[in-house]
A and B are shown apart, each in its own frame.
Chain A
Amino acid sequence: MSDMHEISKKNIKEKGLPIVEEPKSKLPLYISVRELPLRYQFGTAKIQKFFEGLKEGKIYMTRCKKCGQKFFPPQGDCPNCLESNMNWIPLSGEGELLTCTMIVVKPSTYAHYDNYLVGIAQMKEGVRVLGWLKIDDPAKIKPKMKVHLTTVKREPEHFITYEFVPA
């Protein structure tokens, strides 16, 4: 599509219009002259403790002080009790792999990573977590294999997140 944009700029110069011939169908396409940069932002105030925890190497879940329901992803409000009073409990990291996949065809914003494995694990504390599984050889993956959840710096962006490694 960026090629199409380049051709459309050339066509504007030569013919006055950003209309290009779509290569496969040979149909005329109007390439918009407007490009929309889109980077979302969202509030973390209610679960800021989770992000503080990541900096200390901890991965927190929440548990409602009234009914005891556990939440991962952590949340500040309990829909059962209509209360917003949570215990913050760090996960031990001990888990068992329930399923996994390897993403080969990636979204545009993930194009710079190698193929990555994503798994869901049952954690000892009773919640389940989805995350990348770092393993040298995917052939070693076994149903219900023991995994460990740990914080990690994601490269090349260098931000803190979490991932599974074989236990």
Chain B
Amino acid sequence: MRDVAIVGVGHSKFGNRFDVRIDELAWEAVSEALKDASLSAKDMEFLVVGCSGGWSAESLPAVICSEYCGTLPKGSMRVEAACATSSAALAVAYNLVASGYVDIALALGVEKMYESPTPVQIEFIGRAGNYFWEFENFGMTFPGYYALHATSYMWKHGLKEEDLAELAVKAHHYASKNPKAQFRKEIDVETVMQSRYVAWPLKLFDCCPLTDGSAALIVASESVAKKITDTPVWIGGIGASTGTGNLSKRDLFLKLEYSGLESAVEAAKQAYRQTGISYDNAAKHFDVASVHDCFTIAELMAYEDLGFCARGEGLKLVREKQTYNGGLIPVNLDGGLKAKGHPIGATGCSMIYSLTKQLRQEYGKIAGKETQATIKKGKALAHNIGGTGHYAYVTILSLERPQK
């Protein structure tokens, strides 16, 4: 297998994008990535499109986007892994290049959720579990699945709704600096606490919004990457795991005395193994991380699932503000899913976009000095969960070329 580097990144404005169709939205990220790498669409040898779909009109987004972005007649495919869809797209693009099948591939995440009314979007996301046993008769929703984890955490560790609110405050703080974020306003704990319940104990401000958006990553083989850029960002490892469709079968949060997503733990351990990183106190190996905070409780569980702290200690990281920039491990300096927005199929590539910019020390130019992590170790981590731990992808980026 060959080493693979990210050599170009692009990102659309996230939000309610009534101004564009899905292919036009894809173009915003793709054109920016092409400019970033000083390449043309014709240089792309394969387009892997992450798009969860259902709510948008186009059934063949990979084809529509290939045509609009000018990559025809190169091969393409659509990849689906729920909210981890474009981390999966990157995993495919990585393997196409690592295996020698192509030298340059484009991973694109794109989602146009607002082509359907909000209740229909809620319906589609709520079906992201085991349809018959959870949705057909019991009407589970996406916040509902995570609320079951929040209740479990509260019952075991004395988690308070105010603790979760602190994570929403952090997300909005960093999103307020990010010109591409959906929410640009700072909030306080009171705002969160006064918002209405969506799925008890989660309130409106514990939840990410519905979002339109796109993000694109150009990956290249080692020899090609060095011709394109002086600062290739290497893919050090990709861990992937699948959890049960039925939440009732999850041992980690139902059987044991703590809460979390077993698929996230498994994906993290795989990625750490590939990179030679130990699971315990894993935070010390990274300058910055993006974790999957579709809901505030999800970010808290991620700290523990990734081995950033011991089980039940995630709360301490929150209460001591250790995941702000300058803390033990800065997390979601772009505002996270919670406030930057969560266009389902674009989120994975969006995380990697931010981390690539962080490692290149270019993020501060986008969102201000306060949002640029100090880069000392040259490593960053993306934790992207599909559904409620139904899929988990952990991707490790590195300024240093992976050691064979």
User: Provided the pairs A109-B123, A129-B248 are in contact, do residues A118 and B18 lie with their beta carbons within 8 angstroms?
Assistant: no
Q: Does B198 count as interface, using CB distance less than 8 angstroms?
A: yes
Q: List 12 A-B contacts (CB under 8 A).
A: A24-B16, A42-B132, A73-B132, A73-B133, A99-B254, A101-B199, A101-B201, A104-B196, A107-B135, A108-B123, A120-B254, A154-B137
**Tally of A-B Cβ pairs under 8 angstroms:** 107
Contact of B200 among A101, A106, A110 (CB under 8 A): A101
Most buried by B among A29, A40, A116, A120: A120
Tell me if A72 and B248 are in contact (CB < 8 A): yes
**In the complex the two chains form, is B254's CB within 8 Å of A105's CB?**
no
**Considering the chains assembled together, what is the distance between the CA atoms of A120 and B137 in angstroms?**
14
B154 to chain A, nearest CB (A): 9
Check A99–B151 contact: CB distance below 8 A: yes
Q: Give per-residue flags for B97-127: 1 if the beta carbon is below 8 A from chain A beta carbons, else 0.
A: 0000000000000000000110110110010
Is B57 positioned at the interface, with any CB of A under 8 Å from its CB? yes
Report, nearest first, the 3 A-B pairs whose CB atoms are least far apart: A101-B147, A1-B117, A108-B119
Q: In the complex, what distance in Å separates the CA atom of A132 from the CA atom of B16?
A: 34
Pair A108/B139 contact, Cβ less than 8 Å: no
Is residue B377 contacting chain A, with contact meaning CB distance below 8 A? no
Chain A, range 75-133, C-beta contacts under 8 Å to B: 98-111, 113, 116, 118, 120, 122, 127-132
Residue of B nearest to A42 (CB): B132
Q: Count B-side interface residues using an 8 Å CB cutoff.
A: 44
Given A110-B139, A113-B139, A131-B138, the answer on whether A103 and B199 have CB atoms closer than 8 Å is: yes
CB distance from A34 to the nearest CB of B (A): 9
Q: Determine the distance from Cα of A129 to Cα of B212 in the docked complex, in whole angstroms.
A: 35
Residues of A within 8 A of B247 (CB): 120, 130
Judged by a CB distance under 8 angstroms, whether B155 is at the interface is: yes
Partner of B119, one of A24, A107, A122: A107
A31 to B: closest C-beta gap in Å: 11
> Are A105 and B151 in contact, CB atoms less than 8 angstroms apart?
no
Contact A25 B200 (CB under 8 A): no
Contact indicator A130/B132 (Cβ below 8 Å):
no
Contact with B198, one of A104, A129, A138 (Cβ below 8 angstroms): A104
CB of A40, distance to nearest CB on chain B (Å): 8
Q: Which residue of B lies closest to A74 (CB)?
A: B133
Interface residues of B in 122-181 (CB under 8 A from A): 122-123, 126, 130-135, 137-141, 143-144, 147-152, 155
**Contacts of B249 on A, CB cut-off 8 Å?**
128
If A107-B141, A132-B138 are given as contacts, then 7 extra A-B residue pairs at C-beta distance below 8 Å, sorted by A number, are A102-B200, A104-B196, A106-B122, A107-B123, A109-B123, A118-B138, A130-B247
Contact A99 B155 (CB under 8 A): yes
Question: CB distance B120 to A130 under 8 Å?
Answer: no
Nearest B residue to A32 via CB reads B57
Contact between chains at B122 and A98 (CB < 8 Å): no
| A128 surroundings in chain B (CB, below 8 A) | 248-249, 254
